[in-house]
């Protein structure tokens, strides 16, 4: 047993081997934990870490992953049915309200209260992550996988053109135009963005609205304390975002209307575009020695802001919680507290997982390996947890925005009509939900 512990401490450190007493006697032997999650790039990191958990505890970890919309649909169906198909639920920040109000996920406060505060290290998470996992003051999910949108740009091209990375949205547009159809930079387009119909472009609208000086509800904005759910989609700022997207489409590669997160990142990785603003979960792709054509040519900067450079960068990502219908709640908690602990979070980050803790983002070893961590440290304090709605109606709201913005990008309706349609739809939705009269 001692020799085995020595091996384990080399792998995950002596602190973990002694902190998690259940591991030493394999007290979870014979149990199967079932996890459902998004099929994002961090899946391979999960697979490697799950193997360590199985070795430590004797438990078996079964993991299912799906594309974005399918993840929401499958989780919602399973949780609503209460059949106990899954023990651990990995869910998007905007879904927190929907899942909590539906009674689908456990309140984690009682679990956390029983643990050593040093083990949980809740104050080591970025504050926006703690808020992301909360609903009405209670913690329902641990923010193991925070995403921050960083602007990725081709430093070699920008240096050759004598321009700096964009600090404002206007500068981003100017840079995108500069690198499109420019004989000095053949076969390069200005930018790749989420233009695909549905959640991709719908979420894109919410990522940009703040830096146009707008908002989506009257009482929702950074620092707000009021509670006014009057929709504000058809404001000049809301319409301006759609017009901005239409113009930026001119500087994107052919077929850009079919670009979602993966296509956008791949276009940059393959050297087709000069810049993109992308979630940090895909940033490691740009440093992938096997696939990337832009290694050594790429840098990151904070998401561009308004005309004065004031920015509210998008924040997103995933929280990990226990399904109310879980068959193995105690074992699920053992997994969650282990996986999300500071030491294991560092291991997760080493394998390409997104940094969600101060200790990881500032770790010298990780910063040496991942140059974009410096931008994460700049970005995190500027973020606003409700940059996308987190109320139970969130998924439906984002979906209708994605539909109408897509119609405007395809010239089926005007930007003004797109946002008027969204305004009408969401107003009815909010009245139906009892948010307004």
Render pLDDT for 206-219 as a digit per residue (tens, 0 to 9): 999 999 999 999 99
Residue 4 pLDDT = 36
The CATH number given to whatever domain includes residue 185 is 3.40.190.10
If asked whether residues 109 and 21 sit together in one domain, one would say: yes
Using a pLDDT cut of 70, give the percent of the chain over it. 94
Please check the confidence at residue 10 and state whether its pLDDT lies above 80. Answer: no
Render pLDDT for 123-175 as a digit per residue (tens, 0 to 9): 999 999 999 999 999 999 999 999 999 999 999 999 999 999 999 999 999 99
If asked whether residues 395 and 283 sit together in one domain, one would say: yes
Residue 12 pLDDT = 37
Render pLDDT for 348-374 as a digit per residue (tens, 0 to 9): 999 999 999 999 999 999 999 999 999
In 66-100, which positions are buried (b, 16+ CB within 10 angstroms) versus exposed (e)?
eebeebbeebbebbeeeeebbbbbbbbbbbbbbbb
pLDDT, averaged across the chain: 93
Q: Count CB-CB contacts under 10 A for residue 216.
A: 25
If asked whether residues 9 and 50 sit together in one domain, one would say: yes
If asked whether residues 71 and 89 sit together in one domain, one would say: yes
If asked whether residues 165 and 63 sit together in one domain, one would say: no
Please check the confidence at residue 418 and state whether its pLDDT lies above 80. Answer: yes
Render pLDDT for 319-345 as a digit per residue (tens, 0 to 9): 999 999 999 999 999 999 999 999 999
Domain termination site, one of 348, 366, 382:
382
Tokens 């926006």 locate to 128
Distances (CA, A) of 131 to 135, 141, 413: 8, 10, 37
Mean pLDDT of 383-398: 95
Please check the confidence at residue 8 and state whether its pLDDT lies above 90. Answer: no
Please check the confidence at residue 7 and state whether its pLDDT lies above 50. Answer: no
Nearest Cα neighbor of 182 from 202, 160, 198 is 160
Angle of helix 342-350 versus helix 329-339 axis, rounded to 10? 70
Residue 186 belongs to a domain: yes
Please check the confidence at residue 84 and state whether its pLDDT lies above 70. Answer: yes
Please check the confidence at residue 436 and state whether its pLDDT lies above 80. Answer: yes
Using a pLDDT cut of 90, give the percent of the chain over it. 91
If asked whether residues 103 and 202 sit together in one domain, one would say: no
3-state secondary structure string, the chain? CHHHHHHHHHHHCHHHHHHCHHHHCCCCCCCEEEEEEECCCCHHHHHHHHHHHHHHHCCEEEEEEECHHHHHHHHHHHHHHCCCCCCEEEEEHHHHHHHHHCCCECCCHHHHHCCCHHHHCHHHECHHHHHHCEECCEECCEEEEEEEEEEEEEHHHHHHHCCCCCCEHHHHHHHHHHCCCCCCCCCCECCECCCCCCHHHHHHHHHHHHHHCCCCECCCCCCCCCCCCCECCCCHHHHHHHHHHHHHHCCCCCCHHHCCHHHHHHHHHCCCECEEEEECCCHHHHHCCCCCCCCCCEEEEECCECCCCCCCCCEEEEEEEEECCCCCHHHHHHHHHHHCCHHHHHHHHHCCCCCCEHHHHCCHHHHHHCCCHHHHHHHHHHCCHHHCCCCCCHHHHHHHHHHHHHHHHCCCCCHHHHHHHHHHHHHHHHHHCCCCC
Mean pLDDT of 85-104: 96
Tokens 């509210």 locate to 312
If asked whether residues 88 and 154 sit together in one domain, one would say: no
Residue 176 belongs to a domain: yes
Total domain count, the chain:
2
Residue 25 pLDDT = 57
Per-residue pLDDT band at 65 (split at 50, 70, 90): very high
Residue 102 pLDDT = 97
Residue 20 pLDDT = 52
Residue 37 belongs to a domain: yes
Mean pLDDT of 267-292: 96
Residue 223 pLDDT = 86
Q: What is the C-alpha radius of gyration for the chain, rounded to an integer number of angstroms?
A: 22
Please check the confidence at residue 3 and state whether its pLDDT lies above 60. Answer: no
Please check the confidence at residue 286 and state whether its pLDDT lies above 50. Answer: yes
Domain termination site, one of 382, 401, 419:
382
Please check the confidence at residue 11 and state whether its pLDDT lies above 60. Answer: no
Render pLDDT for 218-229 as a digit per residue (tens, 0 to 9): 999 988 888 899
If asked whether residues 47 and 131 sit together in one domain, one would say: yes
Per-residue pLDDT band at 15 (split at 50, 70, 90): very low
If asked whether residues 295 and 407 sit together in one domain, one would say: yes
Residue 28 pLDDT = 86
If asked whether residues 27 and 54 sit together in one domain, one would say: yes
Cα separation, 362 vs 376, whole angstroms: 9
If asked whether residues 196 and 324 sit together in one domain, one would say: no
Please check the confidence at residue 1 and state whether its pLDDT lies above 80. Answer: no
If asked whether residues 236 and 342 sit together in one domain, one would say: no
Residue 437 belongs to a domain: no
Per-residue pLDDT band at 30 (split at 50, 70, 90): confident
Residue 27 pLDDT = 75
Mean pLDDT of 64-85: 96
Q: Which domain holds residue 178?
A: 149-313+387-432
């Amino acid at each position: 047993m001692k020799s085995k512990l020595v091996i384990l401490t080399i792998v995950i450190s002596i602190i973990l081997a002694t902190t998690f007493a259940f591991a030493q006697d394999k007290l979870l032997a014979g149990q199967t934990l079932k996890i459902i999650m998004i099929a994002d790039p961090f899946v391979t990191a999960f697979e490697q870490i799950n193997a360590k958990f199985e070795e430590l505890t004797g438990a078996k970890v079964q993991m299912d992953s799906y594309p974005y919309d399918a993840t929401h649909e499958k989780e919602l169906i399973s949780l609503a049915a209460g059949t106990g198909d899954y023990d651990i639920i990995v869910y998007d920040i905007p879904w927190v309200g929907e899942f909590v109000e539906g009674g689908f996920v456990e309140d984690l406060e009682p679990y956390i209260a029983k643990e050593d505060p040093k083990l949980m290290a809740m104050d080591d998470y970025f504050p926006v992550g703690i808020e992301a996992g909360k609903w009405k003051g209670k913690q329902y999910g641990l923010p193991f996988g925070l995403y921050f949108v960083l602007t990725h740009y081709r430093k070699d091209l920008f240096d050759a053109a004598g321009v700096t990375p964009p600090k404002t949205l206007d500068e981003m547009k100017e840079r995108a135009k500069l690198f499109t159809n420019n004989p000095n930079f053949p076969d390069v387009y200005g930018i790749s963005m989420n233009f695909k119909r549905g959640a991709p472009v719908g979420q894109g609208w919410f990522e940009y609205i703040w830096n146009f000086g707008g908002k989506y509800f009257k009482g929702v904005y950074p620092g707000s304390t009021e509670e006014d759910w009057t929709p504000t989609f058809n404001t000049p700022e809301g319409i301006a975002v759609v017009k901005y997207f239409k113009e930026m489409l001119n500087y994107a590669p052919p077929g850009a209307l079919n670009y979602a997160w993966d296509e956008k990142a791949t276009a940059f990785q393959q050297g087709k575009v000069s810049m993109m603003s992308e979630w940090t979960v895909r940033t490691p792709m740009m440093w992938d020695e096997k696939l990337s054509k832009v290694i050594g040519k790429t840098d990151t900067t904070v998401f561009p802001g308004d005309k004065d450079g004031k920015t509210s960068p998008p924040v997103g990502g995933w929280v990990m919680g226990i399904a109310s219908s879980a068959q193995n709640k105690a074992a699920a908690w053992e997994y969650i507290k282990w996986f999300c602990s500071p030491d294991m979070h560092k291991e997760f980050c080493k394998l390409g997982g997104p940094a969600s803790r101060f200790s990881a983002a500032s770790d010298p070893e990780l910063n040496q390996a991942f140059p974009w961590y410096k931008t994460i440290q700049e970005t995190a304090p500027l973020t606003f947890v409700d940059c996308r709605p987190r109320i139970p109606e969130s998924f439906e709201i984002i979906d209708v925005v994605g539909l109408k913005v897509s119609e405007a990008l395809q010239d089926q309706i005007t930007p003004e009509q797109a946002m008027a349609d969204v305004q009408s739809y969401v107003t009815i939705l909010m009245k139906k939900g009892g948010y307004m009269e």
